[in-house]
Amino acid sequence: MRLLINNYRFKIIALILFGLLLLIGFNLTSLHSLDNYDLVNLSINRFKNLTDNEIILKLLDFDIGSEKDDENVIQNDNEDDKRILLNKTQYEEIFKQVETKQYNMVAKSKAKATFVTLARNSELWGLVNSIRSVEDRFNRKFHYDWVFLNDDDFSEEFIETTKSLCSGKVKYGKIPKEQWSYPDFIDIKKADKARSRLKELGVIYGDSESYRHMCRFESGFFWRHPLLDEYDWYWRVEPDIKFYCDIDYDVFKFMEDNNKVYGFTISLMEYQRTIPSLWRATKGFIRQHPQYLHKNNFLKFISDNKGKTYNLCHFWSNFEIASLNFFRSDKYREYFEYLDKTGGFFYERWGDAPIHSIAVSLFEDREKIHHFGDLGYTHDVFTSCPIDKEFRKKQRCSCNPQDDFDWTVGSCTWRYFELNRLKKPEGWQNYKDW
């Protein structure tokens, strides 16, 4: 009798568990497809009268808004800069998990990888310093190739000088005119007015045409250049940057062997005035293509309210080590083409950094995004410097840890660590009021 009762209880519990699984949608074989989802049996209220696309967004807890948000995507309203107030209480919690990292001085094989630099002839001497820094700290050990791109022909001086500094094969390419000019659908007069308005507001590069062409190229075309066809990985290098620490492991192989997609070193907030409609356009794209949302996405890094608004956090793309195949994918290509048609690169001043960051945060597994906090890096006024004294000594770092930006209020790197439950370096609290 006791055995029968136990069996009966077991059956009841099993039925209850099965019912719960049905309610929360775990009978989906994949959140990227609803082909096998029996909508007839899904009669619970929260899915009632929803389309397949809307159900995916519900399951992924993404507040996509309504189709009305897509109307008049590009706005010309004079919006004040949005200031994000960070919750300082979050600084108090230190997580224990640390990402495993292997320092392999000599890799068994090299990755299909290259450095990529977009530069003009006039930037040669600023670029010379960048190349020397990369070669001295890293590439003299690994001899990876270097691809230089320009919207004009490179001068003999540029080619001779850069070739003498690079230890790997060097290639020079010219950008097709159609990738560095106004597309046919852009209203030139409207674009002129937009530049004038941002100049009056004092926005950096607000009146620059070339900067907009650069951002559009870095967002949607660099990875299409034929010189990159043979590579799977790239490391972006710009003029006037510097690396401070010895890099004794193959970062490309690290990305490849650890199944990473995107690597960054500095993260910060974008100027709101340059991208007032970017998030609205992004939500319009997601509404049409919810299948591209990864089920383990990093939405919380770029939004504090389940996708209602963009919190302006982005990975600074002047340094990025990433998979070219991610940018070649249908999801990224279609995302760029959707954004491009809105005119935001020219009617506003959309940068490639927030676009890369939003795309990888929504379309990829969050675990495939990696923070390189061990390189020591400076671009413009921002520096990433390891604050661990023993590490700096071991890797012969020449940066001042007091200049480190990673753990300050203006940085988003602390958010990356907390959302991934990674342990912050000892002494990080001393930098938050930088």
pLDDT at 66: 62
pLDDT at 59: 62
- Give the percent of the chain with pLDDT over 70: 75
238 among known catalytic residues: no
Model confidence at 20, pLDDT cuts 50, 70, 90, reads: very low
Residue for token pair 């189709």: 67
pLDDT at 74: 42
Asked whether residue 91 carries a pLDDT value surpassing 80, the answer given is no
SS3 category, 317: coil
Give Cα 167 to chain centroid, integer Å: 28
pLDDT at 69: 58
119-123, long-range: CB within 8 Å, 24+ apart, which pairs? 119/148, 119/149, 119/150, 119/238, 119/239, 120/150, 120/151, 120/152, 121/150, 121/152, 121/154, 121/155, 121/157, 121/158, 123/239
202: left (phi over 0), alpha (psi -120 to 50) or beta: left
pLDDT at 24: 40
> Cβ of 279: how many Cβ atoms within 10 Å?
21
Strands 321-323 and 313-315: unpaired
| Between residues 38 and 67, the one the model is more confident about | 67
What is the rounded distance in angstroms from the CA atom of residue 50 to the CA atom of residue 62? 14
Structure tokens at 357: 């960051």
Write down the catalytic residue from 218, 270, 320, 364: 320
pLDDT at 258: 98
pLDDT at 361: 98
What is the rounded distance in angstroms from the CA atom of residue 368 to the CA atom of residue 361? 10
Question: What is the sign of the dihedral through the CA atoms of 62, 66, 72 and 78?
Answer: negative
Pair 55, 32: CB distance under 8 Å: no
- 335 exposed, middle or buried (CB, 10 Å; 0-12, 13-18, 19+)? buried
One-letter identity of residue 168: G
Strand order in 382-384's β-sheet? 241-243, 377-379, 382-384
pLDDT at 432: 59
User: What ranges make up the beta strands (E) of 258-312?
Assistant: 262-264, 267-269
| Between residues 63 and 289, the one the model is more confident about | 289
Asked whether residue 275 carries a pLDDT value surpassing 80, the answer given is yes
Asked whether residue 272 carries a pLDDT value surpassing 70, the answer given is yes
pLDDT at 405: 95
pLDDT at 396: 98
Model confidence at 67, pLDDT cuts 50, 70, 90, reads: low
Q: What is the largest CA-CA distance in the chain?
A: 94
Q: DSSP assignment of 72-140, as one string?
A: T-S----PPPPPP---GGGGG----B-------SS-SS--SEEEEEE--GGGHHHHHHHHHHHIIIIIH
Mean pLDDT estimate for the chain: 84
pLDDT at 70: 53
What is the rounded distance in angstroms from the CA atom of residue 172 to the CA atom of residue 146? 9
| Between residues 43 and 296, the one the model is more confident about | 296
pLDDT at 427: 85
Q: Looking at 142-156, 202-216, 416-430, which range is the least confident one?
A: 416-430
Model confidence at 135, pLDDT cuts 50, 70, 90, reads: very high
What is the rounded distance in angstroms from the CA atom of residue 399 to the CA atom of residue 382? 12
The full length of the chain comes to: 434
What is the rounded distance in angstroms from the CA atom of residue 151 to the CA atom of residue 221? 12
pLDDT at 430: 81
Asked whether residue 412 carries a pLDDT value surpassing 50, the answer given is yes
pLDDT at 4: 42
pLDDT at 48: 52
Domains and their CATH numbers in the chain? 2-60 (no CATH), 113-379 (3.90.550.10)
> Alpha helices, DSSP H only, in 348-399?
352-363, 389-394
- 64 exposed, middle or buried (CB, 10 Å; 0-12, 13-18, 19+)? buried
What is the rounded distance in angstroms from the CA atom of residue 266 to the CA atom of residue 384? 6
> Cβ of 97: how many Cβ atoms within 10 Å?
10
pLDDT at 65: 67
Q: Looking at 3-7, 86-90, 105-109, 307-311, which range is the least confident one?
A: 86-90
Asked whether residue 365 carries a pLDDT value surpassing 70, the answer given is yes
| Between residues 308 and 49, the one the model is more confident about | 308
